[in-house]
Structure 1
Amino acid sequence: MTTATDDGPAPHVLVVPCPAQGHMLALLDLTGLLASRGLRLTVVTTPATAPQLAPVQAAHPAAVRVLTLPFPSHPALPAGVESAKHLPPALFPSLIVAFAGLHGPLVSWARARSGGPDRVVAVLSDFFCGWTQPLAAELGVPRIAFSPCAAYGTAVIQSLFRRMPRPEDVITFPDIPGEPAYPWRQISMLYRTFREGDEVSEGLRSNFLWNLESNGFVLNTFRRLEERYLAAPLPDLGSTRRVRAVGPLAPDADDASAAKRGGEMAVSAADLRAWLDGFVKDDRGGVVYISFGSMAVLQPPHASALAAALEATGVAFVWAVAPATRLPDGFEERVAAGGRGRVIRGWAPQVASLRHRAVRWFVTHCGWNSVLEAAAAGVPMLAWPMTADQFANARLLVDDLRAAVPVTWGGLDAAPRPDEVARVLDAAVNGKRWAEVAARAEELAAEAAAAVRQGGDSWLEVEELARDLRDLGNQAE
């Protein structure tokens, strides 16, 4: 690590991502931005997740290095599990708690460097890694919590574990602007499955409570997207501390970067663009892009309802599905023969697809990375939330931003009828009922681009974050 200035080595920051792809990639994007602003950063990984760092390390070889440590074993996790990839959702809390086993090795590693130019001046870690708060305290340095989620969604999950509301028909959030309320079935499973006295549950709660002691939150969002929440004092984001919005931290839509970030692609961006080009040339109307996330296995009733609606309406579509998702018998063959649809099993170049002019709507589970990618591309969304923070994200899109239309609010518990899905698809693609939603999506794209442009709100927040971290380095000398 030889990045240096005339005054000596650049300040050294320890970065701890959560071992889940959507969380990790966003924090690595921020790592690259900080490296380009004169900081040195060591990123903690385990053997299974270390390859994810190749792009940022190649872009900043002198500023970014990798600290690979064995993933801590835990009785609640199967042997060999190191990340959320292919992990049943019910075991995700165990993964978070097990990862905290790196506390001791990291303290030893950092203390061995405390007297030299590689001393750590700050810890930047995912908000699922709240255990790095006492780690930072042991090292005598500040810790900054990073959330790859919305300010609103982050405040909702933090509020649950701070207030611990009892199961009720409706859960309210009085400390969040607008005092939103959600039925119990739309509350994150992380909270719904909490068991008092259980080691994993209590460890999960401790992670969220530790976040409230951090020196600030950094969020993958932008001010014009969440002005209402970023401008308000949010007790669950540490109302007396600085909350920075630095997004969208989105990848470029080229084949090379997409392949490096997402792994093995089921289809290349060039191939998919060529297929989509045909709908522009032949003036065959808009295409609907469909994805429920890279890890979600859509349940058969939900998949059947969507497949039936697509066939009934005849809308053109690209549907990226997890390999294990079961679709109705014969559906994929009929789609291939008809020429108006395409099913991609595995990882698909989503960003490139959303930025193609043939794609007019996006059926999405409202995972935050997908939301930001659609917002940056100016594509209106058909919201179909399932779990986690997705209901909060969908409410933000539908109620606050008017950039999405709900398909269903049933989530995992209740699949919609095929005719209900067909009615929404047909109105979106063939009708003009939601023209104002499409127009608002285009406005969001302009606002997202302005936020990350030099001098924009998010660009300035990254500049100020880098400056604060450099100042910490100067104070440590």
Structure 2
Amino acid sequence: MGIPHFLCMPFPVQGHVNPLMQLALLLAKHGCKVTFVHTEFNHKRANTTAGAGNLIKGSQVELVTLSDGLDPEDDRTDVTKLLLSIKSTMPARLSKLIQHINALDVDNKITCIIVTFNMGWALEVGHKLGIKGALLCPASATSLASAACIPKLLGDGIIDSQGLPTRKQEIQLSPDMPMMDTQNFPWRGFNKTFFDHLVQEMKTLELGEWWLCNTTYDLEPGAFSISPKFLPVGPLMESENHKSSFWEEDKCCLDWLDKQAPQSVIYVSFGSLAVMNPNQFKELAHGLDLLDKPFIWVVRPNDKKDNVNVYPHDFHGSKGKIVGWAPQKKILNHPALACFISHCGWNSTLEGICAGVPFLCWPCATDQYLDKSYICDVWKIGLELNKDENGIILRGEIRKKVDQLLADEDIKARSLKLKEITVNSILEGGQSLKNLKFFMDWAN
């Protein structure tokens, strides 16, 4: 038997590329051969630091690219358009790529394909070629459990054929899971086309023998009763050095952080996809002024020119640093950090947990509402920012909740305790590491 050879294929958005890249680096560190497939567009955009033979610096992960089928000037923030283009053009290209890779090294053929959501078609390609498959879920295990329960939710009349709740209620997906508001299913905000795609995708993903979850048993124990396919291998935090960000990170904020008092800085970031309306943007700016505390605020460079954030004319921001994109893990782990105002995307949630940082929750879409309920109600390591009757989070609310959070020693203590439990699971003897080793043996 040779060593396992994994082909990793994420859906080409930041929140999918990052965790799968972390998994790829971890598999390579354990002696596996890994080929990572970027789209040509993302490869150019990430400007990945590649050495000889397109290997990622300091690892055994080899990068290859495939076209996503769109023209260079097409709008890739239109996820439906991107998805349809990938599904119609990539399968044939992937099949050729696999045969090419296998012909180059007959002794180390691809033994397993790992995909993220929306890329289930690649498991079909692999299946036809006799290659094993697995999913890496970039969201929480609870989100995955919700999607796996769609047929039952439809059958029980809890949601309709568009994925919308039939009435306002709270349900439990399984007896060990927290109560869940039916408004907060992870497909919240999807249109019918996208919901139908999700239903079909879940069926396709059945071809994957394992559904790997970037989480631990301790964080979401109930979710694992939903399906025997679920296998927690998180938190995937392998490499500090590898840059798989699509934007240039502003490192100067780290020098600035070094000059701040311990536990004094508020970090504000809404991930790679969230877009804020102009009124809310102004209110947040005023809220940060009102806090009168040092802050780092990530205002993402926008690909579209028509949606430019305008700072209010009376915004000072003198105590803070506004950056286009930030080295988030380094900031969260910095001793100067006090709390994280977050959209509660799963990657950010895990990074905050692994840094032991308390949260102020500002969910914007999809699975973020679910993550927020874990942060505030289950783990109790953060507080929720509440909107007014117009759906705006006001500056006064921001100040009130920041003050409340920073004064709460219990939340700080729970955050540090949860950090310890979570990080231990990927260390020697931890359950996630045992699961990862089991998975590597299975893939061989």
- Same fold by TM-score, threshold 0.5 exceeded? yes
What is the aligned partner in structure 2 of residue 342 from structure 1?
321
Query: What residue in structure 1 maps to residue 192 of structure 2?
Result: 194
Q: Label 1:60 to 1:139 Cα distance change in 2 as closer, same or farther (>3 A).
A: farther
For 1:117 and 1:266, the matched residues in 2 are separated by 40
Q: In the TM superposition, what are the counterparts of 1:263-412 in structure 2 within 5 Å?
A: 263-265=246-248, 267-268=250-251, 271-280=252-261, 286-324=264-302, 326-330=309-313, 334-336=316-318, 340-344=319-323, 346-408=324-386
Helix, strand or coil at the partner of 2:125: helix
How many residues get paired? 422
Please state if 1:446 is matched with 2:429: no
AA in 2 matched with 1:224 = D
Distance 2:330 2:178 in 1: 37
Deviations 1:35-75 (A, max 9, x none): 222322222222122355646923466x43333222224xx
**Which runs of 5 or more structure 1 residues have no equivalent in the other structure?**
1-6, 74-78, 471-477
Letter matched to residue 247 of structure 1: G
Per-residue displacement from partner, 1:57-96 (whole Å, max 9, x unpaired)?
23466x43333222224xxxxx3368xxx744xx213323
SS of corresponding position for 1:48: helix
Does structure 2 conserve the Cα–Cα contact (< 8 Å) formed by 1:365 and 1:390?
yes
- Offset of residue 146 of structure 1: 0.7
Shift of 1:405: 0.8
2:133 corresponds to: 143
User: Where does 1:247-262 land on structure 2 (aligned, <5 Å)?
Assistant: 247-250=234-237, 252-253=239-240, 257=241, 260-262=243-245
Q: Which of the residues 44, 63, 68 maps onto 2:65?
A: 68
Change (3 A) 1:373 1:66: same
Counterparts of 2:4 and 2:328, CA distance in 1: 36
Q: SS state of the match for residue 335, structure 1?
A: coil
Q: Does 1:57 align with 2:43?
A: no
Of 12, 17, 20, the residue aligned with 2:10 is 17
Q: Deviations over 1:300-324 (max 9, x none)?
A: 2222222222222323211111234
- Residue type at the aligned position of 2:309: R
Cα 1:32–1:278 shift into 2, 3 Å: closer
Partner Cα distance (2:366, 2:388) in 1: 13
C-alpha distance in 1, partners of 2:339/2:420?
17
- The whole-number CA distance in structure 2 between the counterparts of 1:274 and 1:71 is 38
Contact 2:127 2:207 in 1 (8 A): no
Q: Which residue of 1 aligns with 2:181?
A: 182
Name the CA shift for 1:327/1:139 in 2 (closer, same or farther; >3 Å). Answer: same
Q: Which amino acid aligns with 1:342?
A: K
Match of 2:399 among 418, 422, 426: 422
Distance 1:123 1:261, change over 3 A: closer
| Counterparts of 1:328 and 1:144, CA distance in 2 | 45
The one-letter amino acid of 2:392's match is A
More helix by share: 1
Question: Aligned partner of 1:423: which letter?
Answer: K
Please state whether the residue corresponding to 1:425 is helix, strand or coil: helix
The answer to whether 1:222 aligns with 2:216 is yes
Post-superposition CA distance 1:209-247 (Å, at most 9, x none): 2123420111111222222323xx21xxxx233x22112
Selected match of 2:110 from 120, 125, 141? 120
Task: State the SS of the aligned residue for 1:222.
Answer: coil
User: One-letter code of the match for 2:311?
Assistant: P
* Counterpart-to-counterpart distance in 2, 1:191 and 1:212: 25
Instruction: Letter of the 1:425 partner, please give it.
Output: V
Partner-residue secondary structure (3-state), 1:13: strand
Q: Per-residue displacement from partner, 1:361-384 (whole Å, max 9, x unpaired)?
A: 110000111111111111010011
CA distance in 2, matches of 1:146, 1:252: 18
Q: Quick one: distance in 2 between partners of 1:150 and 1:327?
A: 34
State the shift of 1:327 in Å: 4.2
Q: TM-score, normalised by structure 1?
A: 0.80
Paired residues of 1:97 and 1:203 also in contact (CA < 8 A): no
Please tell me whether the aligned partners of residues 123 and 136 of structure 1 are also in contact (alpha carbons under 8 angstroms): yes
1:76 corresponds to: none
Say yes or no: does 1:94 pair with 2:81. Answer: yes
Question: CA separation in 1, counterparts of 2:245 and 2:299?
Answer: 14
Q: Does 1:80 align with 2:57?
A: no
CA gap of 1:404–1:261, structure 2 versus 1, over 3 A, is same
**Aligned-pair distance for 1:266?**
5.2
Q: 1:158 to 1:70 in 2, by over 3 A?
A: same
1:172 Cα deviation after fit: 5.3
User: Aligned partners of 2:182, 2:317: CA distance in 1, in Å?
Assistant: 37
Aligned to 2:208, the other structure's residue is in SS state coil
**1:389, distance to aligned residue in structure 2 (A):** 1.0
Residue 264 of structure 1 deviates from its aligned partner by 4.8
Distance 1:36 1:252, change over 3 A: closer
